[in-house]
Amino acid sequence: MRSLLLACAVLLLPVTPRADVIGVYVDYAGGSCALLDTSRPVTLNVVHALNSGSTASRFRIEFSDAMTGTLVSVNSPYANVTGSLLTGVSVEYGGCVVGDHVVAELNMLFYGTSGSCSWIRAGAHPSSVDGMLDVYDCVLPTANREPASWEGTHVDTVYPYNCPSDGCGCHGGCCCRPYSPPVAVESTTWGQVKALYQ
Sequence ranges of the domains in the chain = 15-182
For residue 115, how many other CB atoms are within 10 A of its CB? 16
pLDDT tens-digit readout, 61-76: 999 999 999 999 999 9
Share of the chain above pLDDT 90, in %: 62
Q: Which residue has the higher pLDDT, 2 or 80?
A: 80
The H-assigned helical ranges of 14-167 are none
Q: Which residue has the higher pLDDT, 170 or 64?
A: 64
CB-count burial class (<10 Å; 0-12, 13-18, 19+) for 58: buried
pTM of the prediction? 0.81
Separation between Cα atoms, residue 134 and residue 131, nearest integer Å:
9
Out of 69-83, 97-111, 152-166, least confident range: 152-166
Write down the architecture of domain 15-182 according to CATH: Sandwich (2.60)
For residue 188, the surrounding DSSP H or E stretch is helix 187-196
63: β partners = 120
Angle at 28 between CA 148 and CA 131, to 5 degrees: 20
Is the pLDDT score of 53 beyond 80?
yes
